[in-house]
Protein backbone atom coordinates (compact mmCIF):
# COMPACT_ATOMS: atom_id res chain seq x y z
CA UNK A 1 0.00 0.00 0.00
CA UNK A 2 2.75 2.44 1.03
CA UNK A 3 4.73 1.58 -2.10
CA UNK A 4 1.68 2.29 -4.28
CA UNK A 5 1.29 5.78 -2.82
CA UNK A 6 4.93 6.70 -3.43
CA UNK A 7 4.73 5.55 -7.02
CA UNK A 8 1.56 7.52 -7.77
CA UNK A 9 2.03 10.54 -10.11
CA UNK A 10 -0.62 12.39 -8.06
CA UNK A 11 1.57 12.09 -4.96
CA UNK A 12 4.59 13.58 -6.72
CA UNK A 13 2.52 16.30 -8.40
CA UNK A 14 0.99 17.29 -5.07
CA UNK A 15 4.43 17.39 -3.48
CA UNK A 16 5.72 19.74 -6.18
CA UNK A 17 2.69 22.06 -6.01
CA UNK A 18 2.76 22.24 -2.23
CA UNK A 19 6.41 23.12 -2.27
CA UNK A 20 5.98 25.97 -4.79
CA UNK A 21 5.16 28.81 -2.38
CA UNK A 22 8.15 27.97 -0.24
CA UNK A 23 10.34 27.89 -3.32
CA UNK A 24 8.92 31.23 -4.55
CA UNK A 25 9.62 32.81 -1.18
CA UNK A 26 13.14 31.55 -1.27
CA UNK A 27 13.65 33.13 -4.68
CA UNK A 28 12.25 36.51 -3.65
CA UNK A 29 15.41 38.56 -3.57
CA UNK A 30 13.44 41.72 -2.74
CA UNK A 31 13.05 40.45 0.80
CA UNK A 32 16.64 39.34 1.08
CA UNK A 33 17.72 42.97 0.94
CA UNK A 34 14.64 44.80 2.21
CA UNK A 35 14.60 42.88 5.48
CA UNK A 36 18.31 43.24 6.12
CA UNK A 37 19.22 46.30 8.11
CA UNK A 38 22.92 46.18 7.25
CA UNK A 39 22.37 45.70 3.52
CA UNK A 40 19.80 48.48 3.28
CA UNK A 41 22.12 50.81 5.13
CA UNK A 42 24.66 50.45 2.36
CA UNK A 43 22.13 50.66 -0.48
CA UNK A 44 19.95 53.63 0.49
CA UNK A 45 21.37 57.12 0.26
CA UNK A 46 19.41 59.94 1.92
CA UNK A 47 18.28 62.62 -0.54
CA UNK A 48 19.13 66.29 -0.23
CA UNK A 49 16.59 68.55 1.43
CA UNK A 50 15.30 71.06 -1.11
CA UNK A 51 12.08 72.62 0.12
CA UNK A 52 9.70 73.15 3.00
CA UNK A 53 6.48 71.23 3.40
CA UNK A 54 3.22 72.27 1.80
CA UNK A 55 -0.24 73.27 3.03
CA UNK B 1 5.14 67.24 11.43
CA UNK B 2 6.28 63.62 11.36
CA UNK B 3 9.25 62.99 13.66
CA UNK B 4 12.36 64.12 11.80
CA UNK B 5 14.37 61.31 10.22
CA UNK B 6 18.10 61.44 10.77
CA UNK B 7 20.11 61.12 7.55
CA UNK B 8 21.91 58.06 8.90
CA UNK B 9 18.58 56.37 9.58
CA UNK B 10 16.84 57.28 6.33
CA UNK B 11 17.37 53.76 4.98
CA UNK B 12 15.07 52.37 7.67
CA UNK B 13 12.14 53.73 5.71
CA UNK B 14 12.83 51.06 3.11
CA UNK B 15 12.99 48.12 5.51
CA UNK B 16 10.21 45.57 5.32
CA UNK B 17 9.06 43.70 8.41
CA UNK B 18 8.73 40.10 7.30
CA UNK B 19 6.69 39.08 10.35
CA UNK B 20 3.76 41.35 9.66
CA UNK B 21 3.51 40.04 6.08
CA UNK B 22 2.19 36.75 7.40
CA UNK B 23 -1.51 36.49 6.85
CA UNK B 24 -1.87 39.84 5.09
CA UNK B 25 -3.45 39.18 1.69
CA UNK B 26 -1.73 42.25 0.24
CA UNK B 27 1.49 40.24 0.16
CA UNK B 28 0.08 36.96 -1.08
CA UNK B 29 0.99 37.59 -4.72
CA UNK B 30 4.57 38.60 -4.03
CA UNK B 31 6.32 41.93 -4.48
CA UNK B 32 6.29 41.87 -8.28
CA UNK B 33 2.53 41.85 -8.42
CA UNK B 34 2.42 45.52 -7.43
CA UNK B 35 5.98 46.75 -7.83
CA UNK B 36 6.99 44.94 -11.03
CA UNK B 37 10.79 44.78 -11.19
CA UNK B 38 12.42 41.36 -10.98
CA UNK B 39 12.15 39.37 -7.74
CA UNK B 40 14.92 37.07 -8.93
CA UNK B 41 17.38 39.87 -9.66
CA UNK B 42 20.66 39.21 -7.91
CA UNK B 43 21.59 42.83 -7.29
CA UNK B 44 19.82 46.17 -6.87
CA UNK B 45 20.01 47.19 -10.52
CA UNK B 46 18.75 43.88 -11.79
CA UNK B 47 15.97 43.62 -9.22
CA UNK B 48 14.87 47.22 -9.76
CA UNK B 49 14.74 47.02 -13.55
CA UNK B 50 11.23 48.21 -14.44
CA UNK B 51 10.41 48.80 -10.77
CA UNK B 52 7.24 50.74 -9.94
CA UNK B 53 8.07 52.44 -6.62
CA UNK B 54 4.54 53.84 -6.15
CA UNK B 55 2.18 51.22 -7.52
CA UNK B 56 -0.93 53.02 -6.32
CA UNK B 57 -0.24 55.98 -8.60
CA UNK B 58 -2.13 53.78 -11.02
CA UNK B 59 -5.38 53.42 -9.13
CA UNK B 60 -6.07 50.20 -10.98
CA UNK B 61 -3.54 48.41 -8.77
CA UNK B 62 -5.53 48.97 -5.57
CA UNK B 63 -8.76 49.02 -7.57
CA UNK B 64 -8.35 45.36 -8.43
CA UNK B 65 -9.73 44.56 -4.99
CA UNK B 66 -10.92 47.94 -3.70
CA UNK B 67 -12.87 48.78 -6.83
CA UNK B 68 -15.45 51.20 -5.43
CA UNK B 69 -12.99 53.13 -3.30
CA UNK B 70 -10.54 53.51 -6.18
CA UNK B 71 -13.31 54.69 -8.51
CA UNK B 72 -14.40 57.36 -6.06
CA UNK B 73 -10.85 58.29 -5.23
CA UNK B 74 -10.09 59.00 -8.90
CA UNK B 75 -12.48 61.98 -8.53
CA UNK B 76 -11.21 63.06 -5.11
CA UNK B 77 -9.40 66.36 -4.63
CA UNK B 78 -6.50 64.58 -2.95
CA UNK B 79 -5.97 62.73 -6.22
CA UNK B 80 -6.94 65.34 -8.82
CA UNK B 81 -5.31 68.27 -6.98
CA UNK B 82 -7.98 70.33 -8.74
CA UNK B 83 -8.23 72.68 -5.77
CA UNK B 84 -4.81 74.08 -6.61
CA UNK B 85 -5.95 74.81 -10.17
CA UNK B 86 -9.20 76.36 -9.01
CA UNK B 87 -7.40 78.64 -6.59
CA UNK B 88 -5.04 80.11 -9.14
CA UNK B 89 -7.24 80.00 -12.24
CA UNK B 90 -9.15 83.15 -11.28
CA UNK B 91 -5.99 85.16 -11.88
CA UNK B 92 -5.71 83.93 -15.49
CA UNK B 93 -7.31 84.95 -18.75
CA UNK B 94 -8.82 82.09 -20.75
CA UNK B 95 -5.69 81.86 -22.90
CA UNK B 96 -3.47 81.85 -19.81
CA UNK B 97 -5.49 79.11 -18.19
CA UNK B 98 -5.04 76.96 -21.30
CA UNK B 99 -1.30 77.56 -21.14
CA UNK B 100 -1.27 76.80 -17.42
CA UNK B 101 -3.04 73.49 -18.01
CA UNK B 102 -0.56 72.54 -20.70
CA UNK B 103 2.67 73.72 -19.14
CA UNK B 104 2.27 73.89 -15.38
CA UNK B 105 -0.58 72.00 -13.81
CA UNK B 106 0.27 68.40 -14.68
CA UNK B 107 4.01 68.87 -14.35
CA UNK B 108 4.04 70.88 -11.15
CA UNK B 109 0.82 71.15 -9.11
CA UNK B 110 -0.52 67.72 -10.03
CA UNK B 111 2.74 66.07 -8.98
CA UNK B 112 1.57 66.73 -5.42
CA UNK B 113 -1.45 64.45 -5.66
CA UNK B 114 -1.72 61.67 -3.10
CA UNK B 115 -2.10 58.07 -4.16
CA UNK B 116 -3.54 55.32 -1.94
CA UNK B 117 -0.10 54.35 -0.68
CA UNK B 118 0.65 57.87 0.54
CA UNK B 119 -1.96 57.46 3.25
CA UNK B 120 -1.99 53.70 3.79
CA UNK B 121 1.58 52.45 3.24
CA UNK B 122 4.31 55.05 3.20
CA UNK B 123 4.80 58.60 4.36
CA UNK B 124 4.18 60.75 1.29
CA UNK B 125 7.15 62.31 -0.42
CA UNK B 126 7.49 66.05 0.06
CA UNK B 127 10.28 67.80 -1.79
CA UNK B 128 11.62 64.36 -2.73
CA UNK B 129 11.84 63.20 0.88
CA UNK B 130 9.65 60.61 2.55
CA UNK B 131 9.68 59.25 6.07
CA UNK B 132 9.43 55.85 4.43
CA UNK B 133 7.39 52.74 4.92
CA UNK B 134 5.03 52.81 7.87
CA UNK B 135 5.58 49.92 10.30
CA UNK B 136 7.73 47.96 7.85
CA UNK B 137 5.24 48.06 4.93
CA UNK B 138 2.13 47.40 6.96
CA UNK B 139 -1.07 48.42 5.21
CA UNK B 140 -2.63 50.76 7.73
CA UNK B 141 -6.06 52.40 7.96
CA UNK B 142 -4.69 55.73 9.16
CA UNK B 143 -1.72 57.33 10.83
CA UNK B 144 -2.26 61.06 10.51
CA UNK B 145 1.01 61.98 12.16
CA UNK B 146 2.97 60.17 9.46
CA UNK B 147 0.77 60.81 6.43
CA UNK B 148 -1.43 63.95 6.63
CA UNK B 149 1.32 65.64 8.61
CA UNK B 150 3.84 65.26 5.81
CA UNK B 151 1.92 67.03 3.04
CA UNK B 152 0.24 69.44 5.40
CA UNK B 153 3.40 69.89 7.43
CA UNK B 154 4.21 73.32 6.09
CA UNK B 155 1.39 75.06 7.86
CA UNK B 156 -1.62 73.16 9.18
CA UNK B 157 -0.13 70.27 11.14
CA UNK B 158 2.59 72.15 13.03
CA UNK B 159 0.03 74.82 13.86
CA UNK B 160 -2.15 72.09 15.27
CA UNK B 161 0.54 70.46 17.37
CA UNK B 162 2.16 73.70 18.46
CA UNK B 163 5.46 72.84 16.84
CA UNK B 164 5.77 76.42 15.63
CA UNK B 165 5.90 77.60 19.16
CA UNK B 166 2.82 79.09 20.65
CA UNK B 167 0.06 76.94 22.03
CA UNK B 168 -1.09 73.73 20.38
CA UNK B 169 -4.69 73.49 19.28
CA UNK B 170 -6.95 72.54 22.19
CA UNK B 171 -8.35 69.65 20.15
CA UNK B 172 -4.86 68.22 19.72
CA UNK B 173 -4.28 68.49 23.45
CA UNK B 174 -7.49 66.55 23.98
CA UNK B 175 -6.18 63.75 21.76
CA UNK B 176 -8.01 64.55 18.54
CA UNK B 177 -6.37 64.10 15.16
CA UNK B 178 -7.30 65.00 11.59
CA UNK B 179 -9.94 62.35 11.04
CA UNK B 180 -11.81 63.22 14.20
CA UNK B 181 -13.14 66.28 12.38
CA UNK B 182 -12.46 65.57 8.70
CA UNK B 183 -14.69 62.79 7.46
CA UNK B 184 -13.76 59.97 5.08
CA UNK B 185 -15.39 61.51 1.96
CA UNK B 186 -12.92 64.40 2.23
CA UNK B 187 -10.17 61.89 1.57
CA UNK B 188 -11.65 59.07 -0.51
CA UNK B 189 -14.12 61.34 -2.27
CA UNK B 190 -17.81 60.73 -2.63
CA UNK B 191 -17.89 60.09 -6.36
CA UNK B 192 -18.39 63.74 -7.32
CA UNK B 193 -15.58 65.74 -8.85
CA UNK B 194 -15.24 68.97 -6.92
CA UNK B 195 -13.20 71.96 -8.03
CA UNK B 196 -12.35 73.04 -4.53
CA UNK B 197 -12.42 71.63 -1.00
CA UNK B 198 -14.93 74.34 -0.12
CA UNK B 199 -17.49 72.64 -2.34
CA UNK B 200 -17.33 69.35 -0.41
CA UNK B 201 -20.45 68.85 1.71
CA UNK B 202 -20.26 68.15 5.44
CA UNK B 203 -16.86 69.68 6.01
CA UNK B 204 -15.88 70.27 9.62
CA UNK B 205 -17.90 72.92 11.37
CA UNK B 206 -17.19 74.02 14.94
CA UNK B 207 -20.91 74.31 15.59
CA UNK B 208 -21.43 70.60 15.01
CA UNK B 209 -20.01 69.97 18.48
CA UNK B 210 -20.15 73.44 20.03
CA UNK B 211 -23.83 74.34 19.78
CA UNK B 212 -24.64 78.01 20.10
CA UNK B 213 -26.99 78.84 22.94
CA UNK B 214 -25.58 76.23 25.27
CA UNK B 215 -22.90 78.46 26.75
CA UNK B 216 -22.67 78.40 30.53
CA UNK B 217 -21.45 81.96 31.02
CA UNK B 218 -23.51 85.00 30.09
CA UNK B 219 -20.35 86.78 28.92
CA UNK B 220 -19.64 83.97 26.44
CA UNK B 221 -23.21 83.72 25.22
CA UNK B 222 -23.38 87.49 24.68
CA UNK B 223 -20.09 87.47 22.79
CA UNK B 224 -21.33 84.69 20.51
CA UNK B 225 -24.66 86.44 19.93
CA UNK B 226 -23.00 89.74 19.08
CA UNK B 227 -20.44 88.26 16.68
CA UNK B 228 -22.40 85.48 15.02
CA UNK B 229 -22.39 86.02 11.26
CA UNK B 230 -19.87 88.83 11.63
CA UNK B 231 -16.72 87.13 12.89
CA UNK B 232 -15.67 83.54 12.26
CA UNK B 233 -14.91 81.24 15.19
CA UNK B 234 -11.21 81.43 14.26
CA UNK B 235 -11.33 85.22 14.45
CA UNK B 236 -11.59 85.04 18.22
CA UNK B 237 -10.39 81.52 19.01
CA UNK B 238 -7.14 81.34 17.03
CA UNK B 239 -4.50 81.39 19.72
CA UNK B 240 -2.03 83.57 17.82
CA UNK B 241 0.62 83.46 15.13
CA UNK B 242 0.47 80.99 12.29
CA UNK B 243 2.53 80.61 9.17
CA UNK B 244 2.30 82.81 6.10
CA UNK B 245 4.10 81.97 2.86
CA UNK B 246 5.85 84.54 0.71
CA UNK B 247 7.17 84.55 -2.87
CA UNK B 248 6.82 80.89 -3.49
CA UNK B 249 6.01 78.27 -6.11
CA UNK B 250 7.52 78.70 -9.57
CA UNK B 251 9.25 81.87 -8.41
CA UNK B 252 12.37 81.63 -6.29
CA UNK B 253 13.39 82.01 -2.68
CA UNK B 254 10.07 81.14 -1.12
CA UNK B 255 10.02 81.96 2.55
CA UNK B 256 7.62 81.64 5.41
CA UNK B 257 7.10 83.79 8.48
CA UNK B 258 4.78 83.67 11.45
CA UNK B 259 2.08 86.27 11.83
CA UNK B 260 -1.52 86.85 12.86
CA UNK B 261 -3.92 88.69 10.56
CA UNK B 262 -7.56 89.57 10.84
CA UNK B 263 -9.54 91.03 7.95
CA UNK B 264 -12.53 90.70 5.70
CA UNK B 265 -13.17 87.18 4.45
CA UNK B 266 -12.72 87.46 0.68
CA UNK B 267 -15.24 84.65 0.16
CA UNK B 268 -17.79 86.10 2.56
CA UNK B 269 -17.26 89.86 2.83
CA UNK B 270 -19.74 90.32 5.66
CA UNK B 271 -17.49 88.41 8.08
CA UNK B 272 -14.12 89.05 9.60
CA UNK B 273 -11.77 86.11 9.91
CA UNK B 274 -8.18 84.98 10.17
CA UNK B 275 -6.35 85.59 6.89
CA UNK B 276 -3.34 83.78 5.52
CA UNK B 277 -0.96 85.14 2.94
CA UNK B 278 -0.73 82.76 0.01
CA UNK B 279 2.51 82.56 -1.90
CA UNK B 280 1.45 83.58 -5.42
CA UNK B 281 3.27 86.71 -6.55
CA UNK B 282 3.13 88.60 -9.83
CA UNK B 283 5.99 86.69 -11.45
CA UNK B 284 5.18 83.25 -10.08
CA UNK B 285 4.45 81.85 -13.54
CA UNK B 286 6.71 84.14 -15.55
CA UNK B 287 8.89 81.24 -16.66
CA UNK B 288 5.86 79.58 -18.20
CA UNK B 289 4.99 82.78 -20.05
CA UNK B 290 1.95 83.52 -17.88
CA UNK B 291 1.64 87.11 -16.68
CA UNK B 292 -1.62 86.61 -14.77
CA UNK B 293 -3.72 89.23 -16.50
CA UNK B 294 -6.32 89.13 -13.73
CA UNK B 295 -3.84 89.14 -10.87
CA UNK B 296 -5.33 92.24 -9.28
CA UNK B 297 -8.86 90.86 -9.20
CA UNK B 298 -7.90 88.38 -6.48
CA UNK B 299 -6.33 89.16 -3.11
CA UNK B 300 -3.12 87.61 -1.81
CA UNK B 301 -4.73 86.94 1.56
CA UNK B 302 -7.38 84.28 1.97
CA UNK B 303 -9.60 83.11 4.77
CA UNK B 304 -7.71 80.53 6.81
CA UNK B 305 -9.28 77.95 9.10
CA UNK B 306 -6.30 78.23 11.40
CA UNK B 307 -5.60 75.06 13.35
CA UNK B 308 -4.47 76.63 16.58
CA UNK B 309 -7.79 77.00 18.35
CA UNK B 310 -8.02 77.77 22.05
CA UNK B 311 -10.99 78.49 24.24
CA UNK B 312 -9.34 81.54 25.78
CA UNK B 313 -7.31 83.95 23.69
CA UNK B 314 -6.40 87.61 23.88
CA UNK B 315 -9.56 88.42 21.97
CA UNK B 316 -11.91 86.33 24.10
CA UNK B 317 -10.47 87.82 27.30
CA UNK B 318 -11.04 91.42 26.35
CA UNK B 319 -13.25 93.26 23.84
CA UNK B 320 -10.57 95.95 23.78
CA UNK B 321 -8.13 93.68 21.97
CA UNK B 322 -10.11 94.26 18.78
CA UNK B 323 -12.32 97.24 19.48
CA UNK B 324 -9.68 99.52 21.00
CA UNK B 325 -6.22 98.14 20.27
CA UNK B 326 -7.21 96.62 16.91
CA UNK B 327 -4.47 94.06 17.44
CA UNK B 328 -3.72 91.80 14.52
CA UNK B 329 -5.93 93.57 11.99
CA UNK B 330 -4.72 93.98 8.44
CA UNK B 331 -3.81 97.58 7.70
CA UNK B 332 -2.37 99.38 4.69
CA UNK B 333 0.98 99.36 6.42
CA UNK B 334 0.92 95.58 6.82
CA UNK B 335 0.05 94.73 3.21
CA UNK B 336 2.77 93.04 1.20
CA UNK B 337 4.65 95.18 -1.30
CA UNK B 338 3.55 94.97 -4.93
CA UNK B 339 0.62 92.80 -3.90
CA UNK B 340 -2.78 92.62 -5.52
CA UNK B 341 -4.93 95.73 -5.45
CA UNK B 342 -7.72 93.47 -4.18
CA UNK B 343 -5.89 93.23 -0.86
CA UNK B 344 -7.17 96.63 0.17
CA UNK B 345 -10.73 95.34 0.18
CA UNK B 346 -9.83 93.10 3.11
CA UNK B 347 -8.95 95.91 5.48
CA UNK B 348 -11.52 96.50 8.18
CA UNK B 349 -11.53 98.82 11.20
CA UNK B 350 -13.52 97.46 14.14
CA UNK B 351 -16.05 99.91 15.51
CA UNK B 352 -15.54 101.24 19.02
CA UNK B 353 -17.91 99.88 21.64
CA UNK B 354 -20.34 102.34 23.21
CA UNK B 355 -20.01 101.84 26.97
Task: Tell me the residues of B at the A interface, defined by beta carbons under 8 Å apart.
Answer: 1, 7-8, 10-18, 30-31, 35, 37, 39-42, 44, 47, 112, 126-129, 150-156, 254, 256
| B210–chain A nearest CA distance, Å | 26
What digits encode the pLDDT tens for the residues B180-222?
Answer: 999 999 999 999 999 999 999 999 999 999 999 989 999 999 9
- Residue ending a domain, among B177, B203, B229, is B203
- Residue ending a domain, among B203, B231, B256, is B203
Range of the domain at A15: 6-43
Does residue A32 sit within a domain? yes
Give the model's pLDDT for residue B108: 82
Does residue B7 sit within a domain? no
Does residue A55 sit within a domain? no
Does residue B5 sit within a domain? no
Does residue B23 sit within a domain? no
Give the model's pLDDT for residue A12: 55
- Residue ending a domain, among B203, B234, B263, is B203
Whether residues B209 and B355 share a domain: the answer is yes
Contacts of B125 (CB under 8 A, 6+ apart): B118
Does residue A30 sit within a domain? yes
Range of the domain at B340: 205-355
Interval A8-35 mean pLDDT: 62
Does residue A33 sit within a domain? yes
Whether residues B324 and B230 share a domain: the answer is yes
Instruction: Name the residue facing B127 among A28, A44, A50 (closest C-beta).
Output: A50
User: Residue A25: which pLDDT band, with cuts at 50, 70 and 90?
Assistant: very low
B14: chain A residues, CB-CB within 8 Å: 34, 40, 43-44
User: Residue A21: which pLDDT band, with cuts at 50, 70 and 90?
Assistant: very low
Contact B15 A34 (CB under 8 A): yes
Contact B12 A40 (CB under 8 A): yes
The residue of chain B with its CA nearest to that of A44 is B11
Does residue B264 sit within a domain? yes
ipTM of the complex: 0.82
pLDDT reading at B312 higher than 80 = yes
Does residue A22 sit within a domain? yes
For A55, the 3-state DSSP assignment is coil
Which of residues B248 and B67 earns the better pLDDT score? B67
Instruction: Name the residue facing B126 among A43, A46, A53 (closest C-beta).
Output: A53
Whether residues B253 and B297 share a domain: the answer is yes
Whether residues B241 and B144 share a domain: the answer is no
Which of residues A20 and B318 earns the better pLDDT score? B318
Interval B324-348 mean pLDDT: 96
Which pTM was predicted?
Answer: 0.86
| A4–chain B nearest CA distance, Å | 35
A30: chain B residues, CB-CB within 8 Å: 16, 31, 35, 37, 39, 47
Does residue B299 sit within a domain? yes
- When mean pLDDT is compared across A38-42, B60-64, B286-290, B301-305, the lowest value belongs to B286-290
A47: chain B residues, CB-CB within 8 Å: 10, 128-129
The residue of chain A with its CA nearest to that of B244 is A55
Which of residues A48 and B156 earns the better pLDDT score? B156
User: Residue B37: which pLDDT band, with cuts at 50, 70 and 90?
Assistant: very high
Interval B166-177 mean pLDDT: 96
pLDDT reading at A37 higher than 50 = yes
pLDDT reading at B254 higher than 80 = no
A33: chain B residues, CB-CB within 8 Å: 44, 47
Between the alpha carbon of residue B38 and those of residues A41, B52, B127, the distances in Å are 21, 11, 28
The proportion of chain B whose per-residue pLDDT surpasses 90, expressed as a percent, equals: 82
Contact indicator for B242, B260 with CB cutoff of 8 Å:
yes
pLDDT reading at A52 higher than 60 = no
Whether residues B219 and B355 share a domain: the answer is yes
CA B101 to chain centre: 22
Whether residues B169 and B190 share a domain: the answer is yes
d(C-alpha A54, C-alpha B242), whole Å: 14
User: Residue B63: which pLDDT band, with cuts at 50, 70 and 90?
Assistant: very high
Does residue B20 sit within a domain? no
Whether residues B194 and B214 share a domain: the answer is no
Which of residues B256 and B94 earns the better pLDDT score? B94
- When mean pLDDT is compared across B213-217, B227-231, B261-265, the lowest value belongs to B213-217
**How many domains are there within chain B?**
2
Contact indicator for B135, B20 with CB cutoff of 8 Å:
yes
Does residue B181 sit within a domain? yes
User: Residue A3: which pLDDT band, with cuts at 50, 70 and 90?
Assistant: low
pLDDT reading at B348 higher than 90 = yes
> Beta strand B122-123 with B132-133: parallel, antiparallel or unpaired?
antiparallel
Contact B42 A40 (CB under 8 A): no
Mutation target vs A (from B2, B15, B256, B280; most A CBs, 10 A cutoff) = B15
Interval B165-172 mean pLDDT: 93
Interval B238-263 mean pLDDT: 81
| A32–chain B nearest CA distance, Å | 10
Instruction: Name the residue facing B41 among A29, A31, A47 (closest C-beta).
Output: A29
Does residue A51 sit within a domain? no
Instruction: Name the residue facing B16 among A35, A45, A50 (closest C-beta).
Output: A35
d(C-alpha A55, C-alpha B161), whole Å: 15
Whether residues B58 and B148 share a domain: the answer is yes
**How many domains are there within chain A?**
1
Does residue B220 sit within a domain? yes
Between the alpha carbon of residue B50 and those of residues B35, B38, B128, B227, B288, the distances in Å are 9, 8, 20, 60, 32
Whether residues B213 and B180 share a domain: the answer is no
- When mean pLDDT is compared across A20-29, B278-287, B305-314, the lowest value belongs to A20-29
- When mean pLDDT is compared across A26-40, B125-139, B199-213, B237-251, the lowest value belongs to B237-251
Does residue A52 sit within a domain? no
Amino acid sequence: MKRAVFLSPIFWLSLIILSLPAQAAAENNCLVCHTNDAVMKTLVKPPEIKSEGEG
Amino acid sequence: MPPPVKAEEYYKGYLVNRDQMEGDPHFSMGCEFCHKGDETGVNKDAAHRGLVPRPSDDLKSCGLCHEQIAAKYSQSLHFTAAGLREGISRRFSAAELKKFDEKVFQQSCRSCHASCGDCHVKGPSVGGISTGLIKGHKFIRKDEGKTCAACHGGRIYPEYTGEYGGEPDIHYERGMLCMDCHQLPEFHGDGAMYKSMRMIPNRPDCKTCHKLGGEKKLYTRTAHDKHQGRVSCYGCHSSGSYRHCYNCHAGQNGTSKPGFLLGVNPRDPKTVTTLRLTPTVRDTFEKAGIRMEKFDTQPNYWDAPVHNVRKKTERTRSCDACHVERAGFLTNGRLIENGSRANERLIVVPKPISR
